[in-house]
Amino acid sequence: MIEGLVWVLTNLANGFVNIYAAVSQPELWLNWSEDKVSLGRFIYYGGSTEFFFAVLDVFLVIFVIGLIWRRFLWGVVIGLETFANTTGRLFAWAGLLMVLQQVMIIFQQRIFRVSELTFSPFGSGFTRDLSWWSEELKLYNAMIVALCCAYTFVQGGHVRVDLFYAGMRFRAKRVVDMLGSLFFILPAQTLIWLFGWYFLWRHMVTPKISASDKLDLIERKAGLMRWNIETIGFSPNGFDAYFLFKILLVGFAGMMFLQGWAFFYRSFLEFVEGEESEHKYHDPDVLGDETAQRVHAIEEHH
């Protein structure tokens, strides 16, 4: 027990040292074009214990400052929720692109009887088989799922079954929300990040990097390291950029992790300030219909 506590405290202290080293010497982990060892360090630290405790240090520092200066913590909440809302509202348009592209594919295939489609927005043509464009529709769907999830969470759009939560008092709900952030959202997204991080890089570079590899082993591998981006499709002429889905998986975990922060901070602030602070600085979508808006407000309140 004592050894575990000492390990945690030591890593928390080292987290500040690692943050300083990363900020003051970016060439050690960002100089990919000239130094493959820096790329190896980036891959290693992106899924490492050191990175976890550095992120935890930032979370705790923000929270401690927020205990003293609540306006600062509200600013962090607004910033994180604005990031989620802006990203979600932008990539929600992928749904429209998906529909338009599907219509275009049907017209080209059934009416004009062509087998290929060329996209040339900047003069140079990008030609692919219609089956490629058809399979690429899955990427739009993945964008909506991965990059709009945090936005949907901010808007209260996820399905909830409130058997006990709905009958709780205001501050009891905020306690449940804080515990939910700490013990469900953040651990789950940490696991998804760790899985997705190495899943991504195993299909981006060679020799392959394993989650069990130590830093010294990765640095030795760096001498042989080269880009080997996955371009294998499920069919001969099908979509061949599936590495983009792996990037979206990491992006999803990162955005939902940050939203876990925002939800914890907001729940804490509403707990401290009382019911009058509920939905304070919240940026809800406007439905464009007064009746629908009132129904949404009632559902959100209950």
SS3 call for 207: coil
CA atoms within 13 A on the CB side of 226: 2
Q: Please state, in angstroms and rounded to a whole number, the distance separating the CA atoms of residues 225 and 38.
A: 11
Spatial neighbors of 255 by CB under 8 A, at least 6 apart, are: 83, 84, 87, 146, 147, 149, 150
b (16+ CB within 10 A) / e for 16-41: eebbeebeeeeeebeeeeeebbbbbb
pLDDT at 236: 79
- Cα–chain-centroid distance for residue 253? 4
Q: Average pLDDT per run of 10 along the chain, which is 302 residues long?
A: 89 95 91 89 94 96 96 97 96 94 88 79 75 91 95 86 83 94 95 95 90 89 88 81 93 97 96 92 76 53 54
User: Residues 127, 117: contact at Cβ < 8 Å?
Assistant: yes
How far apart CA 231 and CA 233 sit, in angstroms, is 7
pLDDT value for 20:
95
Q: Closest Cα to residue 198, out of 39, 50, 52, 43? A: 43
- Pick the closest to residue 40 from 217, 212, 200, 190 (CA basis): 217
What would the 3-class secondary structure string for 60-75 be? HHHHHHHHHCHHHHHH
Backbone phi and psi for residue 128, each to the nearest 5 degrees, phi listed first: -145, 155
Tokens 């195993």 map to which residue? 202
